[in-house]
Structure 1
Amino acid sequence: MVKDDVVASPPDGSVWRAPGFLPLLTATLLGFAGFAMLLPSGPMRALEIGAGAEGAGLVNAVLMLFTVLAQLVVAPATRRFGWARCFAAGLLFLGLPSLAMPLLAELNWLLAMSALRGLGFGLLTVGGATAVSLLVPPSARGRAVGAYGLSIALPQFLLTPLAPVAMETAGFTAVALAGALPVAALPWVSRIARHVGSVEDGPDDDGEKPGWAALLHRIWPSLVALLLVTTGGGAVLTFAAEMVDAPAVAALALAAFTGVAALGRWLIGGAADRWGPRRFIAPVLLLGAAGFAVFGLAASPGPVWLLLAAAGASGFAYGSLQNLTLVYAFAGGGERSRPRTSVVWNIGFDAGTGLGALAIGQLSEALTFPTAFLAMGAVIAGAAVVLGLALRFGRRA
């Protein structure tokens, strides 16, 4: 379990001045800008070509499936080819396929491009999280993860709500061109790589490096919480534009979700450094469960203020738990297991996002969006209670 009862004091200076950290944030921002533009508009393109809600859900489900597959092999690939080559390949695979998507009018081809983009996203996410852990000391990691999360969440806040509006006004081609922004991040890769150094796994600080099973045993609470909150987040990001009749209201809801998520991921970092992440995980997850349930009820249809409040509450949980669970995982996994921990955490994140898109898409076909979101909120709430008890009474290392 994570040693978060005694938290090291932060080092002198700002995490923003850590060598290589600002170039990493710049590359991450551009990479996630392309991802954010296509996250809601890719499923909308599937609806546009007549694939239906299930087909729309498959677009992001396939994206996340191939993201996870890439994340499973990124550690050995990085050891063989180097961090810089793998990170650059991620930017290319994520950005270039978006240029072909406006030319495709069949779901299978659309899914093929989503698969390629998923491979790129997997390389990008693991490489970025690993670099954060290598560039910044553990005592400042909560703030570093917050800043890194801000570079992820900011494009989602600005571009994810804009994407459905841009697609309605300028067409999918314009949105897909913006989806190629990750390619523009290539010049920053070498600047980061010179400070990252080797990402070879080595012996843990407390002895031998833990195997995969031991690592999962150490960090499982963070993975469960992450999987749950990203399932809800994936559902919101995929289906908000379809659930809300007015495009402007859908854009506002997505802006509230992604904007508060950005603030939550940034602001919780200092608290995680000072008090440790353990005590915050279950309460924030309960807040997210309530937010997701109310979001589904208010979207079809409901008062706009209630929809925005629910989007903000679930967004805060979505952003904050990304920070809390990653800090918890790095602390529990040990300093020499950071690459493996990054792989496992990112798999949990993207598996949850894909699960949310797939499960809510299928449930909404059989039932309704409000019922599907209500059921999801109830499951997350029940799991949060169990997780809170495990964190409160579980064995501490």
Structure 2
Amino acid sequence: MSTTPTDHDLPILRVPGVRALLWTSVFGFAGYALLLPTAPLWAIRGGADEGGAGLVNAVLMLATVAVQTTVPWSLRRLGWRTTLSIGVLLLGLPSFALMLTDQLAGILAVSAVRGAGFAILTVCGASAVASLVDATRRGRAIGVYGLAVAAPQLFLVPSAAWIAESIDFRVVFVLGAAPALAVPFAAALGRRLDDIAEAGVPDTGDEARPGRGRMLLALALPSLVLLAVTTPGGALLTFAPQFRHGSTVAVLGLLGFTAAAALSRWLVGGPADRFGPSRFISPLLALCAGGLALCAWSLTETGPGPAVLAAGMTVVGVAYGSLQNLTLVTAFAAVPDRDRSLASAVWNIGFDTGTGLGSLVVGFIAAGTSFSVGLLTTAALCVVIAVVALVGGGSAGRVVGRTSGDR
């Protein structure tokens, strides 16, 4: 097992390393949340169009996905402490550089460097949960971790664009360096995880270790589900300040989206541990599609008022947060304990690929048609993957039932 026997009897918040993980995540995601809506607006201020603004977060996520594939290697060669410390510095310090330029090329370069740091933070954070807490409480632990990830986004994503436009963009850029403040917590967490890694994860001998190709195949479905829900999520986070109803409605919509995501990611952990995640996945994807349809309707010229946009974004937030937890539980259940970093990397690649696609694809669709068409495109993706998950979810449920201690 990945924890000492006494750890199993402790409340999750008292398990050694968990609090350091939570503080690292809070500071890291604070910097991420502040610049997610603000950096595209800064590009618009510098003369970019909707497609160029969409590129800002698309490049961030492209760099994230590219570097995520190398994080397991870095953990083996450099260790957790060094890798995590590098990650939070790369995510935080480049924010200062945005004060030097509002030109698209410079903003994209900053996004690429920050993406490398974000890759390390996300892969290490998700993998750390599985290393610190035993499998029977993994859904609840992921829920607690999800609160630390979502809380900064709850408060900062809706307010970041308002602060930038009403006070000064430079205030956001200074605050965006917050991940660098996480170095002491990242180092403490890294020491704990290095000790766990040095102790090793014993082989239970229950079955032969599957090949890498078979593990990647097992991780394909949760990754597709995650991509389906994070694509519209990335679009809403990037473009809500540019929607037709104005900045105040965007703040309310983003507040509903992030609050619903935070609460649902936390609350779904218990049911995931008890029943397994597979039975919830397709209904939540359908719910996401319905929320997106409401958003798209509200953005048409003859559509309803801004309250429908805020309601639709909140509905999407419920699916967005819940499916993050459920797919991560599924990913960890699909591989042996020794391959947790692989499961984390693949899961995060699905998450960030979706976020980048939402920013890029919806941005270019909106530039040629409208945001309504872009959001409806992502709703159709949710419906397609819901059908795929419904057909392929049975085997995923059996894997989870075998490995997660369903009661």
TM-score tier after normalising by the smaller chain length: over 0.9
Give the share of equivalent positions with the same residue, in percent: 45
Question: For the residues of structure 2 that align with 1:54 and 1:198, how far apart are their CA atoms?
Answer: 45
Contact 2:230 2:352 in 1 (8 A): yes
Q: Which residue of 2 aligns with 1:319?
A: 321
Distance 1:76 1:347, change over 3 A: same
Q: Which residue of 2 aligns with 1:391?
A: 393
Q: Which residue of 1 aligns with 2:189?
A: 192
Contact 1:234 1:352 in 2 (8 A): yes
Give the RMSD, CA atoms, in angstroms.
Answer: 1.8
Q: Which residue of 2 aligns with 1:245?
A: 245
Contact 1:202 1:209 in 2 (8 A): no
Q: Which of 338, 341, 344 is the matching residue for 1:342?
A: 344
Q: Which residue of 2 aligns with 1:176?
A: 173
Contact 2:8 2:133 in 1 (8 A): no
5+ residue gaps in structure 1?
1-9
Q: Which residue of 1 aligns with 2:4?
A: none
Question: For the residues of structure 1 that align with 2:134 and 2:354, how far apart are their CA atoms?
Answer: 28
1:127 aligned to 2:124? yes
Q: For structure 1, which segment, 302-311 or 15-24, has the greater mean C-alpha deviation from structure 2 after superposition?
A: 302-311
Q: CA deviation at 1:299?
A: 3.6
Contact 2:245 2:306 in 1 (8 A): no
SS in 1 for 2:304: coil
1:62 aligned to 2:34? no
Q: Which residue of 2 aligns with 1:380?
A: 382
Contact 1:234 1:353 in 2 (8 A): yes
Q: Residue type matched to 1:291 in 2?
A: G
Runs of 4+ in 1 over 6 A off after TM superposition: 200-203
Q: Which residue of 2 aligns with 1:259?
A: 259
Q: Which of 14, 18, 21 is the matching residue for 1:21?
A: 18
Q: Which residue of 1 aligns with 2:107?
A: 110
Distance 1:49 1:333, change over 3 A: same
Question: For the residues of structure 2 that align with 1:304 and 1:209, how far apart are their CA atoms?
Answer: 53
Q: Which of 41, 44, 49 is the matching residue for 2:46?
A: 49
Q: Residue type matched to 2:15 in 1?
A: A
Q: CA deviation at 1:216?
A: 1.8
Q: CA deviation at 1:25?
A: 0.2
Question: For the residues of structure 1 that align with 2:102 and 2:356, how far apart are their CA atoms?
Answer: 23
Q: Which residue of 2 aligns with 1:304?
A: 306
5+ residue gaps in structure 2?
1-6, 400-407
Q: Which residue of 1 aligns with 2:93?
A: 96
Question: For the residues of structure 2 that align with 1:49 and 1:123, how far apart are their CA atoms?
Answer: 30
CA deviations on 1:62-114 (whole Å, 9 max, x unpaired) are 00000011101111111111111111111000001110102113211110000
Write the mapping of 1:131-146 to structure 2, written as runs, cut at 5 A: 131-146=128-143
Q: Residue type matched to 2:68 in 1?
A: Q
SS in 1 for 2:117: helix
Q: CA deviation at 1:327?
A: 0.4
Question: For the residues of structure 1 that align with 2:338 and 2:135, how far apart are their CA atoms?
Answer: 12
Question: For the residues of structure 2 that align with 1:195 and 1:93, how far apart are their CA atoms?
Answer: 22
The count of corresponding residues between Structure 1 and Structure 2 is 388
Distance 1:81 1:198, change over 3 A: farther
Distance 1:222 1:152, change over 3 A: same
Question: For the residues of structure 1 that align with 2:62 and 2:268, how far apart are their CA atoms?
Answer: 29
TM-score under structure 1 normalisation? Answer: 0.94
Question: For the residues of structure 2 that align with 1:102 and 1:226, how far apart are their CA atoms?
Answer: 34
1:233 aligned to 2:233? yes
Write the mapping of 1:30-49 to structure 2, written as runs, cut at 5 A: 30-49=27-46
Q: Which residue of 1 aligns with 2:403?
A: none
Q: Which residue of 2 aligns with 1:3?
A: none
Contact 2:233 2:355 in 1 (8 A): yes
Question: For the residues of structure 2 that align with 1:394 and 1:83, how far apart are their CA atoms?
Answer: 30
Contact 1:38 1:176 in 2 (8 A): yes
Q: For structure 1, which segment, 380-389 or 82-91, has the greater mean C-alpha deviation from structure 2 after superposition?
A: 380-389
TM-score under structure 2 normalisation? Answer: 0.91
